[in-house]
Amino acid sequence: DIQMTQSPSAMSASVGDRVTITCRASQGISNYLAWFQQKPGKVPKRLIYAASSLQSGVPSRFSGSGSGTEFTLTISGLQPEDFATYYCLQHNFYPYTFGQGTKLEIK
């Protein structure tokens, strides 16, 4: 199985900050990577697909990059509504695997 190592597991930041979350795959997954945001008690929401494509309706402050084994999600100019938990998902090979999640909290 492909392991997705997501870091950090938790972080605190302030409104307006730029933050980066990383996912590393244990083997190459091309660009079959998506990023999700989840707020407590809510359904996960896709932010990025194909590693770097912005989901329709998602603010442009969210961006994704990477290919192969290393991927990043960047939020430029944090807004209060961005404080949530973020997950990556590899869907190149079965079984699909999620990263462990990054909880983004307000500093």
Partner 1 sequence: QVQLVQSGAEVKKPGSSVKVSCKASGGTFSSYTISWVRQAPGQGLEWMGGIIPIFGAANYAQKFQGRVTITADESTSTAYMELSSLRSEDTAVYYCARDGGAAAGSGWGQGTLVTVSS
| Chain residues in the site for partner 1 (CB under 8 A) | 1, 32, 34, 36, 38, 43-44, 46, 49-50, 53, 55, 87, 89, 91, 94-101
Q: Cβ of residue 65: shortest distance to partner 1, in angstroms?
A: 17
Q: Quick one: 42 or 60, whose CB is closer to partner 1? A: 42
CB of 92 to partner 1, least distance (A): 10
Strand 10-13 vs strand 102-106: parallel, antiparallel, or unpaired?
parallel
DSSP E strands in 1-107: the ranges are 4-7, 10-13, 18-25, 33-38, 45-49, 53-54, 62-67, 70-76, 85-90, 97-98, 102-106
Q: Given the complex with partner 1, which of 61 and 91 has the nearer CB atom?
A: 91
Closest distance to partner 1 from the beta carbon of 43 (Å): 5
Indicate the DSSP class of residue 15.
T
